Structure 1
Amino acid sequence: MEKRKVPTVECQMMIRKPVSEVFQAFIDPTITTKFWFTKSNGKLEVGKTVTWDWEMYNVSGDVKVNEIVPNEKISIEWDEPATTVDFEFAALTDGTTYVVIKNYGFSQTGDDLIAAIKDNTGGFTTVLDGLKAYLEYGIELNLVKDKFPHIKQK
């Protein structure tokens, strides 16, 4: 019997920084807020649920941390509707890291599933682009903030 393939969003980027620095950019909200969300109530730790805020859109989301393998993997459960997001890190050299973000476990079907995959692919690509600009060049591009200018921002 053929296995049914699970719909998965997969985005990736090489970052010209050591794996430990790239990994910490996702663990530590003082760094993550430079390229993704605007506020968090804490660092990512296994078993902990943190809230991430995008204040400019008046949106927040709870993130449950399921697994952390230092410098290799972070696995979270994202709320509403719940999906799993894995952040995988591989050192290509001492100074370069390959990041892969996988998002799966979608409950939607049909056109709603297509819309969710499209939105998450675009969103995680934007996150990786912002991460690269910030870590490699120290530039905050405001990509997430500027992605939806038609939505009333604070």
Structure 2
Amino acid sequence: MGKTELTIKAAIQILKPIPEVFEAIVDPKKMSNYFIAEGSGRMEEGREIEWKFPEFDMQFPITVGKIEKDKYVSYYWEVNKKKNLVEMTLSSFGKDTVVTITEKGMENNEEGISWLMGNTEGWANFLACLKAYLEYGINLRKGAFEFRSGE
């Protein structure tokens, strides 16, 4: 039996229209209210950008893949010296938006399973923070991960 690639999938319904959710994902100023501390630029197809997270004193390079306005965002980032694909799909549910995230790239082995557990938790947190920011104007991430700053 060959090795299989592991895939994370997480989704949430956000009580906002698709264009507002899309902008919160691609605009680094908006992302800084729920996910990153700062970003070097807007997510645009083919662009290389860097993200800085509030609890880590380093930059994380991002290679933006395909972008379909109000529908789809993809990018690659490095995980354990390997480029992983992250895909975010936006779909309508009445007046609301369903955001579905998948991340692919790790093998089904001990390292991959550890990644699967950690990043599944991370994407669920991302979605909860995005929802809290867009629906209630609060930053759930602020002060949430300072205990991890030494990792």
Query: Which stretch of the first structure deviates more once superposed, 9-18 or 71-80?
Result: 71-80
- What RMSD in Å do the two structures reach over aligned CA positions? 2.1
- Aligned residue pairs total 149
- The TM-score, its normalising length taken from structure 2, stands at 0.90
Compute the displacement of 1:85 (Å).
Answer: 0.2
The code of the aligned residue for 1:35 comes to Y
Compute the displacement of 1:110 (Å).
Answer: 1.6
In the aligned structure 2, how far is the partner of 1:83 from the partner of 1:142?
23
In the aligned structure 2, how far is the partner of 1:138 from the partner of 1:11?
22
In the aligned structure 1, how far is the partner of 2:135 from the partner of 2:102?
23
In the aligned structure 2, how far is the partner of 1:57 from the partner of 1:66?
24
Compute the displacement of 1:79 (Å).
Answer: 1.9
Aligned pairs (5 A) from 1:114-125: 114-125=113-124
Q: Return the structure number with greater strand share.
A: 2
In the aligned structure 1, how far is the partner of 2:2 from the partner of 2:144?
40
Contact 2:55 2:146 in 1 (8 A): no
Compute the displacement of 1:4 (Å).
Answer: 7.4
- The TM-score, its normalising length taken from structure 1, stands at 0.88
Contact 2:62 2:76 in 1 (8 A): yes
In the aligned structure 2, how far is the partner of 1:11 from the partner of 1:59?
26
Give the equivalent residue in structure 2 for 1:86: 87
In the aligned structure 1, how far is the partner of 2:19 from the partner of 2:110?
39
In the aligned structure 1, how far is the partner of 2:147 from the partner of 2:3?
38
Change (3 A) 1:120 1:21: same
Q: SS at 1:66's partner residue?
A: strand
For structure 2, the 5+ residue unaligned runs are none
Give the equivalent residue in structure 2 for 1:50: 49
Q: SS at 1:50's partner residue?
A: strand
Percent identity over the alignment is 26
